[in-house]
Amino acid sequence: MKFKTPFLILLLLSTFANAQEKMSVKGSKGYPATQSYTFICEKYAFSGEADVQVAKTEKGGVLKLSIATANAEARIAGGVYVDLANGDVIACVDKNVKETVEGKTTSYYYFTPAEMIKLKKADIQGIRFIIAGNSKSFGNQTGYFTAVNKMNYFSTGYDKSKKTFDTATAISTL
């Protein structure tokens, strides 16, 4: 009996640790996805952060890009550029798959199988995007922004810990 209880607890913990997240595109079926990463977006004064998640589909993959906005009129518009750590750039065309929920605007972009192979080999370094809408005084910030793969705004030179997310490893395990 002494051996069974710790073994059961260990088994339950390992099950929860290995559970993958799911992502659905506007109510569609769920796809296996990476965790949601919070990238730093220094020039975006409203929140300074963008949420990034990648899912694997039958036809390649999906990028989910979310950012907090001041009103529902602001949206992530146009295509985005995904910059990889090895210097490659993936251009994603806007297919107009968007949603706004609870003060966040979300856009979905699709990857081809060849682009998913690139994402498995190199970490995402940054994502360049546009926020469009009407700019009123004390309204939403619009313009061109870059979400950078950084865990924290600030760090010291003495900090030797990893400062970016391992997106390539997470995408490879999908």
| Mean pLDDT, residues 25-52 taken together | 89
| pTM of the complete model | 0.82
The CATH architecture of the domain made up of 34-172 is Sandwich (2.60)
The rounded distance, in Å, linking the Cα atoms of 41 and 31 is 26
Asked if pLDDT for residue 35 goes beyond 70, the answer is: yes
C-alpha distances (whole Å) from 37 to each of 11, 13, 148, 149, 167 are 27, 22, 11, 8, 9
7 token code pair: 């073994």
**56: β partners:** 61
Q: 6 near 78, Cβ under 8 Å?
A: no
- In the chain, where the domains are located: 34-172
The rounded distance, in Å, linking the Cα atoms of 19 and 138 is 42
∠ CA(16), CA(18), CA(24), 5° rounding? 90
For 46-57, give one letter per residue: b (16+ CB within 10 A) or e.
ebebbbbbbbbb
Chain length of the chain = 174
17 token code pair: 């640790």
**Interval 46-92: pLDDT, tens:** 889 999 999 999 999 999 999 998 888 889 999 999 999 999 999 99
The rounded distance, in Å, linking the Cα atoms of 64 and 51 is 8
pLDDT grade for 16, boundaries at 50, 70 and 90: very low
Lowest model confidence (mean pLDDT) among 1-10, 21-30, 110-119, 144-153: 1-10
Nearest to 49 by CA among 110, 103, 87, 112: 103
Sign of the Cα torsion 38, 167, 33, 91 reads positive
